[in-house]
Amino acid sequence: MRKTFTGRHMLAIFVVFFGIVIAVNFWVASIALHSFSGVVVENSYVASQQFNGWLKDAKTERALGWSATVSRDAAGRLVVKTAGIPAGAKLTALLRRPLGVPDDRTEALREISPGGYQSKEVDPGRWLVRIEADANGQHWAQEVPVG
């Protein structure tokens, strides 16, 4: 004997289906709110006023012809190999996490060979590394992901 499919059965299916959809939406929204605040700059108007200066700085930096590659060694240290940067330049690495809880730090890089620099040990995981070099009154920067 077959049972009859009634309106109550259909109502139960709709309530369960939409309940699951709503619960998943709230769960994903809470993950999104806790992983990225959405703030890239504190004041977009002030940042817009500095934009032309940033473009000028980038053009000046490109004209220097300096470059760097960043990797990690087995001990977890950043290893930076430079090209074109004068010997004795002061290099720093500004590290920040691309996602999740903000974890910004600055590491001084020490020269271990001509054109080769190294940091102390850095926590594992993905980082956005901004290498900044100062030499002979000139400033240069490059940002690379390291994971």
**pLDDT tens digit sequence for 89-104:** 899 999 998 877 778 8
Q: Which CATH class is domain 66-146?
A: mainly beta
* Tens digit of each residue's pLDDT, the chain (147 residues): 788 999 999 999 999 999 999 999 999 999 888 776 667 778 889 889 999 998 998 999 899 999 999 999 988 899 999 999 888 889 999 999 887 777 889 988 999 988 899 999 888 888 999 999 998 888 999 999 998
Sequence ranges of the domains in the chain = 1-35, 66-146
* Residue 37 confidence (pLDDT): 66
The letter for the amino acid at 100 is G
pLDDT of residue 3: 87
The helix or strand, by DSSP H or E, that contains position 52, with its residue range, turns out to be helix 44-64
In this prediction the pTM is: 0.67
Adjacent-strand bridge partners of 145 = 128
Among 67, 69, 71, 109, CA closest to 85? 67
Q: Give the amino acid at 51.
A: F
- 82-87: list long-range contacts, CB under 8 Å, 24+ apart: 82/115, 82/116, 82/117, 82/133, 83/115, 85/115, 85/133, 85/135, 85/140, 86/135, 86/136, 87/111, 87/114, 87/115
Q: Report the C-alpha gap between 109 and 131 in whole angstroms.
A: 9
